[in-house]
């Protein structure tokens, strides 16, 4: 799988260059989970990495846009943003009621100084990347990892 992950483009490199070291490290871990999930779902060849609202974003042809961002206003955290008009966060809360800190109906907030629940995060990312294929299924067809 690692050979399928392309290097970030120059725009994304410029954004993460402004991140503190731990945020860069966590961003790269999250980015790897996005690519792993896309690969597992068979979407790797169609995954688009770009900037939306100045933040690294990931788009699949059958999914909902996913963004990852660190912000100075919440410097000890990094967030994974989901489209707020989907049921993704509602489903994530149901699947993992005590695992993640959730912000409204749009984000999972992760502390930079704590390890990530990688398998569960990859699962949530996969739900977003395949959202349009699964949105009519109860709990998006998911079972907790």
In a domain, residue 139? The reply is no
Angle at 10 between CA 9 and CA 15, to 5 degrees: 100
Residue 47 CA to residue 129 CA, distance in Å, equals 9
In the beta sheet, which residues pair with residue 79?
69, 109
Which of 29-33, 120-124, 133-137 shows the lowest mean pLDDT across its residues?
A: 133-137
User: Does 29 map to a domain?
Assistant: yes
Please report, for the domain that includes residue 72, its CATH number. Answer: 3.90.1150.200
Residue numbers of the domain that contains 87: 2-132
Enumerate the β-bridge partners of residue 57: 50, 67
* Residue in the structure block whose two tokens are 């992760």: 110
In a domain, 140, yes or no: no
Reported as a single tens digit per residue, the pLDDT across 54-84 is: 999 999 999 999 999 999 999 999 999 999 9
**Residue pair 81/106 in contact by the 8 Å Cβ criterion:** yes
Number of domains within the chain: 1
pTM of the model: 0.91
pLDDT in tens, 83-97: 999 999 999 999 999
68 vs 2, higher pLDDT: 68
The mean of the pLDDT values for the chain is 91
Is 45 inside a domain boundary? yes
């Amino acid at each position: 799988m690692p050979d399928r992950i392309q290097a970030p483009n120059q725009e994304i490199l410029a954004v993460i260059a402004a991140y503190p070291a731990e945020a860069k490290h966590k961003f790269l871990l999250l980015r790897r989970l996005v690519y792993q999930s896309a690969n597992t779902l068979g979407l790797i060849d169609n995954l688009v990495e770009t900037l939306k609202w100045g933040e690294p974003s990931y788009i699949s042809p059958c999914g909902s846009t996913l963004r990852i961002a660190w912000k100075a206003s919440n410097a000890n955290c990094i967030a994974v943003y989901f489209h707020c008009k989907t049921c993704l966060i509602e489903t994530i809360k149901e699947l993992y009621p005590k695992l993640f800190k959730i912000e409204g109906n749009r984000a999972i907030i992760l502390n930079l100084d704590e390890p990530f629940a990688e398998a569960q995060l990859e699962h949530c990312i996969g739900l977003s990347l395949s959202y349009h294929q699964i949105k009519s299924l109860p709990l998006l067809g998911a079972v907790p990892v």
